[in-house]
Structure 1
Amino acid sequence: MELVFRTIKPADAPLLKEFLELAMEFSGDEREHNMNKYLEDWGKRVDIGFIVLLKQEKKPIGAVWFRQFTEKNPGLAFVDEKTPEMIAAVSPDYRNQGIGRYLITRLVNQARMEGFRALSVAVHKDNPVLGLYERLNFQAEREDGSIKVMRRVL
């Protein structure tokens, strides 16, 4: 399986919505409100991310990105205004093959190069990906109901 990684562009917003739906683990009005926060006006602020595609089919199979939020308008994994929140998702058929690890590592390295000091992520406590975050040195910051907020110092 040959993969191609590329930077997310503003035109990728519909594709990001598909991956965000895979990443969001709750439903209802809160889900829609939070989804909009992570997609709205993509690329018009300090938005950084990557998409991975199957080379031959040019089929997107994963994405990772981050956004910064304010204390007045926080995201799910808000820690502070200097720590961007990361979103990562891999299509179900391609999980457990190291793709998520590679995407997250690539974003962590990019965030470090951009001068950020940390990244945060919100993950459901029962999600198996929690172990991956722990192996990638994300530390528990707090728990909000069934969601664990984790932070990775860069």
Structure 2
Amino acid sequence: MEAVSIRQAVPSDGPFLADMVVEAANWRPEIARPRVSILGDPVYASYISGWQRPADRGVVAMSADGEAIGAAWYRIFPADAPVHGHVERGVPELIIGVRPMWRAQGVGRALLRRLIVEAGAAGYARIGLSVEHGNFAQGLYRAEGFEHHVDTGDRDTMVRILR
């Protein structure tokens, strides 16, 4: 992996996190959805709306030239929130996105590992995420200790034990 650093996400990263939601939703370039359609969807909007709430935590990957190239963050959602990967009350949901030209270079893995450590240090016992069927990132999640929790039709919710 080229020189990449990881820093804490801050409130002003909200617009970049929105970019990463769009990247995550458009993991299949041949079926790219318009940005306005993705961010207008209540589920995707919930991942960034009001960033940074008190329990929100995230990390941003930066290239050697100072460009933000990926991010991973987690949020706690109530059971009735419109999200893809709700596990249960008190289990944060992880969201991750990496710019296409930086995928398959270890950026996502580095972000994921860093956020897992931070979630464990914050006292969470588990962390969950949602991944669409066929997304190559599912292999990364399995390799990093996430296990299938539930199939919700076109996607799987996966969970990792933190302690």
* TM-score of the aligned structures, taking structure 1 as reference length: 0.93
What is the RMSD computed on CA atoms of the aligned residues?
1.7
Aligned counterpart, 2:61: 52
Distance 2:98 2:119 in 1: 20
Aligned counterpart, 1:151: 159
Q: Secondary structure at the match of 1:52?
A: strand
Kept in 2, the 8 Å contact 1:24–1:31? The answer is no
Give the C-alpha shift of residue 99 in structure 1: 1.2
Give the C-alpha shift of residue 30 in structure 1: 9.0
Distance 1:9 1:63 in 2: 11
Structure 2: 5+ residue stretches without partners = 27-31
Structure 2 CA distance for partners of 1:31 and 1:117, relative to 1, 3 Å: farther
Q: Secondary structure at the match of 2:20?
A: helix
Aligned counterpart, 2:83: 75
Distance 1:17 1:99 in 2: 18
Distance 1:66 1:19 in 2: 13
Aligned counterpart, 1:32: 41
Distance 2:38 2:101 in 1: 28
Kept in 1, the 8 Å contact 2:72–2:112? The answer is yes
Counterpart of 2:143, as a letter, is R
Structure 1: 5+ residue stretches without partners = none
| Identity value in percent | 28
Distance 1:23 1:137 in 2: 20
Matched, 1:86 2:94: yes
Distance 1:134 1:44 in 2: 29
Give the C-alpha shift of residue 39 in structure 1: 0.7
1:79-134 per-position Cα deviation (integer Å, ceiling 9, x unaligned)? 11111000111111111111111110100000000000111010011001100101
Aligned counterpart, 1:122: 130
* TM-score of the aligned structures, taking structure 2 as reference length: 0.88
Counterpart of 1:141, as a letter, is H
Distance 2:5 2:50 in 1: 25
Give the C-alpha shift of residue 44 in structure 1: 2.2
Structure 2 CA distance for partners of 1:29 and 1:137, relative to 1, 3 Å: closer
Distance 2:103 2:121 in 1: 27
Counterpart of 2:17, as a letter, is L
Counterpart of 1:45, as a letter, is P
Give the C-alpha shift of residue 71 in structure 1: 1.1
Kept in 1, the 8 Å contact 2:76–2:92? The answer is yes
Extract structure 1 runs of 4+ deviating beyond 6 A: none
Q: Secondary structure at the match of 1:39?
A: coil
Distance 1:12 1:139 in 2: 29
Structure 2 CA distance for partners of 1:30 and 1:2, relative to 1, 3 Å: closer
